[in-house]
Amino acid sequence: MFLSKKRLAHRGFVLALLCMAQFMVVLDFSIVNVALPSMQKDLGMSTQNLQWVVSAYSLTFGGFLLLGGRASDLFGRRKLFLAGLLVFSLASLVGGLAHSGLWLIAARAVQGLGASVVAPTALSLVASTFAEGQERNKALGVMGAVASTGFAVGAILGGLLTAGPGWRWVMFVNVPVGLLACVLTPFFIPESQLQEQRPKLDILGALTVTVSIVLLVYTLARGNELGWLSWNTWGLLLLAVLLLLAFVWVELRAQDPLVRLNIFRLRVLTGGNLVGFLLPGTFGAIIFILTLFMQRVLDYSAIQTGLAFLPMAGVLLILSNVASHMFSHMSLKVLLVCSIVVVGCGELLFLLLSATATYWNAILPGMLVVSLGMGFVFPAITIAATNGVRNEEQGLASGLLNTSQQVGSSIVLAVVTSISTAQTAFLQSGGVGTAEALALGFHMAIWACLVFVLLALGISIFVMRERTIIVAPEEAGITAWPLDAYAVHGQEIECDNVKL
């Protein structure tokens, strides 16, 4: 059955609108980084408080993702999507008008709260709008690749805006985009159908997991300041783990759990989330390392640093179209494994960084290869993490993926920066020059990233199982079995990669 041209055009507008919202949220992770020195100078912020311009956003974004995703399932995805967009846009406006560091940090925290609703809801809207299979894979491929472009474009746009109209436009740029999305949403996105007997929101589960994630991200953000071996750090980490265990205990006993734990029996979903936990963090860490290297070793200005990421953004943007078609015709697992190998090869090229290196011989080759791999990784984990999930749980699946990426990125960045900082300090104490010590410290950070890449590769090979829709014989009275584990006459049947 073929869709009419009008219907296809309508779905194209829906996808474009949701991609725009997701792009805006991802963009905000990197667009602020280049502007931090200007923010500090203009608002008179201390270095200690400056990190909270980034960390405040990460705290609320990562902490409320699961709650935001599940709430969209229960109360309506369009309604929550609009609310999140409005909160995000207004917080961006308030942040751009900030006259003190505390004002800016508070606005960034509210921004993260809005983003924690927009990100999982946008992804679940794509999954519920497009039919599972080739149609959805194309849509998720486009969305994943476009979102990945946001990381690189954020660095470029941050440099251009900071050097041009000023750092406040790093915040203001979200306002017209967000408000435009708010205006268009009622015309193109229908409200999701709610269940007649809606499950109740698991308040206790939401409270324990939100506090646990916020505490974990907070501890990781302050690790260098508190000291990684201090009692404060280990005490907060232990408390976060205990709260996470309490969340699991609550979910196992809840009548309507926030997270149905047996959803992780879907091997492709579990693998997608685990790879999402590890690999996007290494990509973010590489962008962070390169930004520091270009500004502190190559003495690049903010605008030069931003423009240096233009080839990465170009490759990711081109792949947004290529990836969507390839995932519809090739094995998801094979493409993901190959893409991870490409990312690892690209990161190895960054070992060419040195005190005497140039952009052309030490940064650009690795940048192009890593972006080539990540252009396929992002859509692959997006497809995997939403594949085989019931329509009424797409918000949950999207929240899980976004939480995995956010928490994983915080952990990876904390580990990588700690290793790099420790190595640089050790070398400088031994009399090594600043530029050389920084470059060798970055080498240790790259080796740490490669360890995470290898873990992601192992997971993609040994954990993920591709899901196959199984067509049953007509006499069985069943036309299709669309999940990895099925209940037939009261019995569960495992059927991964099996066709009848």
**Exposure string over 83-105, b if 16+ CB within 10 A, otherwise e:** bbbbbbbbbbebbbebeebeebb
My answer on whether 454 and 472 are in the same domain is no
Q: What is the mean pLDDT of residues 383-410?
A: 82
Burial (CB < 10 A; 0-12, 13-18, 19+), residue 194, is middle
Three-state DSSP at 493 gives strand
H or E stretch covering 485: strand 485-488
My answer on whether 134 and 45 are in the same domain is yes
**Which is higher by pLDDT, 12 or 92?**
92
Q: Give residue 456's identity as a one-letter amino acid code.
A: A
pTM of the entire structure?
0.79
Q: Alpha-carbon distance 67 to 117, whole Å?
A: 8
Q: What is the DSSP string of 437-453?
A: HHHHHHHHHHHHHHHHH
My answer on whether 387 and 497 are in the same domain is no
Q: Tell me: the pLDDT tens digits for 275-284? A: 999 998 898 8
In a domain, 322, yes or no: yes
My answer on whether 24 and 74 are in the same domain is yes
Tokens of 133: 């299979």
Q: What is the DSSP string of 113-172?
A: HHHHHHHHHHHHHHHHHSPTTHHHHHHHHHHHHHHHHHHHHHHHHHHHHHHTT-THHHHH
Residue 93 backbone phi and psi in degrees, to 5: -65, -45
Q: Tell me: the pLDDT tens digits for 301-351? A: 877 887 888 888 888 878 766 776 777 677 888 999 999 999 999 999 999
Structure confidence at residue 197 (pLDDT): 59
Domain membership of residue 370 as a residue range:
5-190+258-467
In a domain, 133, yes or no: yes
Q: Give residue 6's identity as a one-letter amino acid code.
A: K
pLDDT band of residue 193 (cuts 50, 70, 90) is low
Structure confidence at residue 231 (pLDDT): 85
In a domain, 480, yes or no: yes
My answer on whether 25 and 152 are in the same domain is yes
Q: Tell me: the pLDDT tens digits for 280-302? A: 889 888 888 888 888 888 988 87
My answer on whether 490 and 414 are in the same domain is no
Structure confidence at residue 344 (pLDDT): 95
My answer on whether 171 and 55 are in the same domain is yes
Structure confidence at residue 459 (pLDDT): 94
Q: What is the mean pLDDT of residues 26-48?
A: 80
Domains of the chain: total: 2
